[in-house]
Amino acid sequence: MDEDYRAVIGELEQMQERLRALRFRLCTNASRENIRYRSFSGAVSHLNKVIDDLERDLAGRAGA
């Protein structure tokens, strides 16, 4: 099970990097007023929340 969590975390981190690269390429105006920039940033942020949650769960399993 722990290996599954690590694999999923790795996949999510790759998704984050891909979204960041797309944001850099597609958003010439990196401002909060730019809806595309905001959407890419929000997606990266939400993935980060999922990663953090999985890492906490994984750490809890290690401590048990």
Q: Tokens at residue 13, please?
A: 């981190």
CA nearest to 59, candidates 39, 30, 51, 31: 51
> What is the tally of structural domains in the chain?
1
pLDDT above 70 (res 64): no
Which string of b and e fits 48-62 if b means at least 16 CB within 10 Å?
eeebeebeeebeeee
For residue 57, give its domain range.
Answer: 2-63
The mean pLDDT value of the chain amounts to: 94
Q: Tokens at residue 42, please?
A: 């929000």
pTM value is 0.86
pLDDT tens-digit map of 11-28 = 999 999 999 999 999 998
Specify the residue for token string 């599954």: 4
